[in-house]
Structure 1
């Protein structure tokens, strides 16, 4: 009882941020009992909080040797491994947590994040299959089992599992629209439409579901509504970086590489730079050293708050990018970067016209879009994800119509999603310099 009381004192101090007092308590517990499972576990968490993840992993693994049925310890081990970049080991730890505690919500959430970024999950699939067999009323298990089957290429079984998720109702899911997107990808568009109609009927003001329904129906849409983009990314802001880091997401890096190359070739930094749709600021730190002044703009306040925490932007603006470019700006820009923002615009002509106004003579845009293979029609298309893809010919035509020049384009893989590559284009658009006009 004395050891337990001392451990609790350490836990209380730890929660209050007093790491020195917590450490003394944990070490006293372990001095009395060197194999105390909880003492090792919490000392491991303290080492992680103090910036020593290797020590944390070793201590929590030692704790699990003493108590191999501690689901919370497996989940915490998974968290540390994930943050340390060991995704496959993290997934194993989370899987062990839900084996031990099939309704462990946090572990299921962590599994979902990692699975959405995975390319395979051969070891996890049989575990999930057994969990849904033993606990068929577990919605989190069915959700991740369906995703696991997608990665395994077992599309019909995956679709059945995702449809099973729909039977649990709308209120249980934080993002029920996700299931509709997956059903579309698995060829069950009619069922996805029915489900989206249910969501909209139950919540007519759900902007995400309304836009998703329009996209799946194939409505004639020139762009995603501002309200959709703002709502979607405000909700996504908290997990945005974690999700994308596991998707092999390279768009910010690819756009930044192009910008850095241009700056180095000129031997001077860009004076005025704007990051259009800056989000949480994934591109900003990569180009900061080559900018004198860097401005970021985004519709989502949640995203901008995370970008502000980076302290790399001189100015951050909440607003829609075309309206921003058309406004009475205090300066025009030498460089604009735009990473995976144009995928929410189908018709790019208004954007190009506004861009021409906002660039200085000789100014350049470097941007990414999702790639629609060259066809005579359509020149852009929205898919069931709610994102638009564009043809290179369309980019060129829109640029020319706005008195801009498409100077460079290259095909890239932007990220992986549901085990598949998402193909894109990185392109340059330039405004004529004064001696060219």
Structure 2
């Protein structure tokens, strides 16, 4: 006897799934209506109905349908997994993680469930959970390259550098020209504070792609040089990948409060909000959310189009420019803005010897430049590249640049910029005032 004969809804469900995958949402809805008429309490119908509702932008309808699916079949893995994934996509991480752990217990050997659980853990910033399930996955499929890469990356993020480097080294030994493994080893070596150990692999990457700006950057790092700035090809995909969950990760997980603090300072000085603001490295628009609509212009600049797409959803920015901040400042006419901000962005921009004078030129008389830096040792170089891959700046050097550019008042406040691995990241916030 065929599966369709024993399960008369199967043909409708299979067809609806295909239609949803193709974006044929109107016909998918009609097909699901037929399936619902066949069996009104089929949890699979409500699960697919949830996926369909999310595709149409009806998030509430998606939750209603998926919760109905779970209520009809509380221990059915696929329905639980889809609910957990929706929760994660909507940044409801606590319930997402709890639901994911439940479905992993119900179906411990289901590789599709495993992939979903690991994705949820990463979205939630729960690296320890991801590592636990990646190890479990490698028990199910020993030697799997994709799982080993993910595990090695997560171990590095957790500061387990030796374990990470052991995995990356083994992957490179197995396939000496695999660019993903070579890059992974280089990045993990930098994070471990051992960049010189990866020089051979960085050189191999450059041999494989001589024109690649990122590989050239890695060669510089691993031979002991400090590049003056990071290539856009490195930072853009990093932030494109973080865009969906950046706000929640930064504010909740990393305790990032700088946009709110700076917005309060700006509004205190301009209570009528009659000003033009240039937000360099605007990201997902956290500063704009805190400022609200201005009686002027709020312009966002960011390399990542995905981040700008998130910022645009807040409906507070007037325009965006997808460009390197150095280029944005260099190409902007004089005297346009009362305030320029660069929050948590100079840590990727590197050398500031041109950026600060250009910001001074772009400010209107009486304008203010506000930016943050991570702190470099006063006994070291003016610019340091940290194992995190971010730049730190010497406070005395930054103050000297501001004064040389023409700022008549330069206020510097020590600050905890954010937290990482439960530890504070120390830095400073600079406010430079241009003479009226």
Instruction: Name the TM-score class by shorter chain.
Output: 0.7 to 0.9
Provide the TM-score with structure 1 as the length reference.
0.80
Alignment of 1:387-402 (within 5 A): 387-402=390-405
Note if contact 1:296-1:316 (Cα within 8 Å) is conserved in structure 2.
yes
User: 2:340 aligned with 1:332, yes or no?
Assistant: no
> How many residues of Structure 1 are paired with residues of Structure 2 in the alignment?
421
User: 2:325 aligned with 1:321, yes or no?
Assistant: yes
User: 2:382 aligned with 1:379, yes or no?
Assistant: yes
Q: Please list the CA deviations of residues 134-182 of structure 1 after superposition, one character each: whole Å capped at 9, or x if unmatched.
A: 3222123223333554576654333323434445648877696344222
- RMSD of aligned C-alpha atoms? 3.7
Partner of 2:229: 223
Partner of 2:111: 102
User: 2:147 aligned with 1:141, yes or no?
Assistant: yes
CA distance in 1, matches of 2:259, 2:432: 13
Partner of 1:240: 242
Residue of 277, 280, 289 corresponding to 1:276: 280
C-alpha deviation, 1:190, in angstroms:
4.2
C-alpha deviation, 1:219, in angstroms:
0.8
Q: Please list the CA deviations of residues 111-138 of structure 1 after superposition, one character each: whole Å capped at 9, or x if unmatched.
A: 57337x33x62x5544432322332221
Residue of 410, 428, 432 corresponding to 1:429: 432
C-alpha deviation, 1:80, in angstroms:
0.8
| Structure 2 portions without partners, runs of 5+ | none
C-alpha deviation, 1:343, in angstroms:
1.6
Residue of 28, 32, 54 corresponding to 1:26: 32
Change (3 A) 1:257 1:156: same
Secondary structure in 2 matching 1:429:
strand
Note if contact 2:243-2:310 (Cα within 8 Å) is conserved in structure 1.
no
| Structure 1 portions without partners, runs of 5+ | none
Q: Please list the CA deviations of residues 249-300 of structure 1 after superposition, one character each: whole Å capped at 9, or x if unmatched.
A: 5698513432333323432114221112334544333324245112223445
Secondary structure in 2 matching 1:348:
coil
CA distance in 1, matches of 2:424, 2:393: 16
CA distance in 2, matches of 1:280, 1:125: 28
Partner of 1:261: 265
Alignment of 1:99-248 (within 5 A): 99-102=108-111, 107=116, 110=119, 113-114=122-123, 117-118=125-126, 121=128, 125-150=131-156, 154-167=160-173, 169=175, 177-224=183-230, 228-229=231-232, 231-236=233-238, 238-242=240-244, 244-245=246-247, 247-248=249-250
Give the number of the structure with larger relative contact order, counting CA–CA contacts within 8 Å between residues 6 or more apart: 1
Secondary structure in 1 matching 2:381:
coil
CA distance in 1, matches of 2:175, 2:122: 22
CA distance in 2, matches of 1:165, 1:308: 41
CA distance in 2, matches of 1:99, 1:189: 38
Change (3 A) 1:221 1:251: farther
C-alpha deviation, 1:82, in angstroms:
0.9
CA distance in 2, matches of 1:264, 1:299: 30
Residue of 44, 48, 59 corresponding to 1:42: 48
Change (3 A) 1:135 1:144: same
Partner of 1:55: 64
Q: Which moved more, 1:422-431 or 1:91-100?
A: 91-100
